[in-house]
Structure formats: C-alpha cells, structure tokens
Amino acid sequence: MKAAVYLGGPKNIKIQEVPDPVLLDGEILVKVGAGNICGVDSRTYNHGDKKIEPPRILGHEFAGTVVEVANGDTDIKEGDRITSYVVLPCGTCVYCKRGRANLCDTRTTISYHYDGAFAQYMVLPKGTVDNRHVFRIPEHVSFEEAALSEPLATVLNAQGKLNIGIKDTVVVLGAGPIGILHSLVSKIEGATHVCLMDVSPGRLKLAEQFDLDRYVQVKEDGSHIEQAKALNDGLVPDVVIVANTAATSQGDALEMAGKGARVEFFGGLPKSNPYATLNTNLIHYREIIVSGSFSSRIEDFRNALKVVSSGLLPVKQLITHRFPLDAMLKAFEVIPAGEAIKVSIQPN
C-alpha cells in the first residue's frame, strides 16, 4: 500500500510503497477515509520529533471503513464506518483509575507508537479494540468531519475546567483550528462575547466566516491587551484561552484577564525552551485561576463525536483543503502560509 512515512528528522516524510498490514488477533484493519493534519504533524514534519522512532506513519485524526476484524472481542464489523480514540492507557495506574487516561504515565498513542492514518490502510491496535475505543460514525457524518472529533475532544477536555456560561466574555489567543474550535464551543456554551486574536491578519480573515463577536490582531506594541481590557464594558475578559505555542501569549493572557478570571494554557511551549516570563502578582491580586490541558479523556472523545454528529458546530467549514496522499507534502506548505484552517488527507 501507499503511505507517508516519517523517516526521522526535519522535512523527512516520504510517500512510498510499504508492505500491506497483516493483522494480529484482536486488531482491526481500516481503509482510511480521511486523515486530517494536526499542528503536531506539521511540527514533526518541519522540525522532527525525537519521541517518534522512525519509520513511522503519522496521522491521529482519522476516520475510515473497517475492512477486517481479527478475532476481536468487539461488536465492530466489516463495513462499519468508524473513528477511534488515539490514546492507549495502561488501565492500572492511579490516573487511569481516576478516568484520566490522557495523564497516564505509560500511555502510548496511535501515530507515536503505532502507525497512523496517512496511508491507504491502518491497523487499530488490540488495546484500542479491547477498551471499546472504536466508535461507529452516523451515516450523515463524513469521514473528514468525524476526524475532527480528536481535536475537538482535546478542546472539550480544557473547556470542562473553564465553566463558560452566559455573561462570560472570552478571549482566545490563536486563530488556528484549535483556537477556532475553542471560540465556537465557548459560543455554544453561552458566552456572550467571544474575541479571537492572532498575529496573522490572514488567519483572522479566514476565521471571519465563523461570525465571532470580534477579531483583533496581536501586535508587539501590546495594543491587543488594551483592546481586550475594553471588552465587556471595561469588565475585562472572564476567560482567556491560549491556543498557540508562544510564551508571550501566556504573559499577555494574564495581563488581559479580569479579576476572578479563568486562564487556560492550552498550547504547550517548545520543549527546547518551555519558560515564559509571567507577572504572577496578577494571579495573586486578581485571583486568577490558571489551568492547563493535555490531550483528551475517553468521555471527551465520545462527547466530541456526539457534537460533530449533532450539527451544532460548522464542522464542514473548518476543512478548507483536501489533498490525495501523493500530494501530502504540499499540504505542509499551505498550513504555515496561513491559507488553511484544517487540511484533510484522503488517501483512497
């Protein structure tokens, strides 16, 4: 079969023929319908990732059709249209027992430890099947839409801590797919005012189709902080979500947050320099609650697929580009240029 194989280091993904997967007991073979590109995939393409042992097929936001089920203890059958949760938790550690599989110390994941979706076929590991982490997709939901359940699940994991509701003014820093999802979910939850900020005017322009309340460009002179403070009749933001990987945004978030606000550091900083300069007195005097979020729990994934299927979110609009597997490397050029929101690879 054809696959996009990460061979280690920067700019080293090659489209090549690889042997067809052979199933072991308990595994499921899936013909990939869509594998959407995540920010993590772009980062791995551009900079490499030492945590991934090459050769490895990336792609953890996916959906497809079951081709074969190998003696699995599952009700999933050949022909089912499915998507799956990508984390394989150990199931026995203290975090797993508390339902926090995303925080499991020895978790493995599809596309890091198992081959992912940027191929014609992929194998769902026995652990995923045994844990009932494979979900059928309703008939009216396309593969590319169903594949959005993964990033949406990570957003729901964070939103669960923020308790957004009526009267809340929300600022989201970062107008990528995650920032847009955070903005849209905040609206569904009842936020009266959602303001999306980004350094790129192009990304803000693309996001205008989602009819948020305000779009503000992040500038070095800090004028975006003043603009945030002027929102909500001067009551300043109740919630600020950092959906990018810039340390300065974390500092900005605290500066613009109102008294008693909730601030979420959603995006991790680069591992080479994970330090930010923060005025922690703001946390103290303004009684700001700061949270962080990583990955998603199984219930977030289940809820995300429900939301995607419900039509509550304009999921179709989020996918701006589609490429066949052969042209996948072109996709990595479109993303940094700020021309795309979500790019979907459709290998078959």
Which residues contact Zn ion by CB under 5 A? 38, 89-90, 93, 96, 104
Measured from the CB of residue 177, what is the shortest distance to Zn ion in angstroms? 9
In SS3 terms, 273-298 reads as: CCCCCCCHHHHHHCCCEEEECCCCCH
- In the complex with Zn ion, the residue whose CB is nearer, 120 or 295, is 295
- Cβ distance to Zn ion smaller for residue 96 or 307: 96
Alpha-carbon dihedral angle through residues 206, 207, 213, 215, given to the nearest 10 degrees: -70
Q: Give least dist CB 190 to Zn ion, A.
A: 26
Comparison of 101 and 173: residue with beta carbon closer to Zn ion? 101
For 120, the token pair is 């014609």
Q: How far is the CB of 93 from Zn ion (least distance, A)?
A: 3
Q: How far is the CB of 102 from Zn ion (least distance, A)?
A: 10
Show Cβ contacts of residue 257 under 8 Å, excluding neighbours closer than 6 positions: 236, 237, 240, 263, 282, 286, 288
Element (H, E) at 315: helix 315-318
Residue 271, CA distances (Å) to 52, 111, 274 in order: 14, 19, 5
Helix (H, G, I), strand (E, B) or coil at 146: helix
23 vs 93, beta carbon nearer Zn ion? 93
Distance CA 157, CA 337 (A): 29
CB 36, min distance to Zn ion, A: 8
Nearer to Zn ion, 38 or 63 (CB): 38
CA atoms within 13 A on the CB side of 50: 3
State which residue, 290 or 307, has the beta carbon closest to Zn ion: 307
At its nearest, how many Å lie between Zn ion and the CB of residue 318?
13
Give the separation between CA 213 and CA 211, rounded to whole angstroms. 6
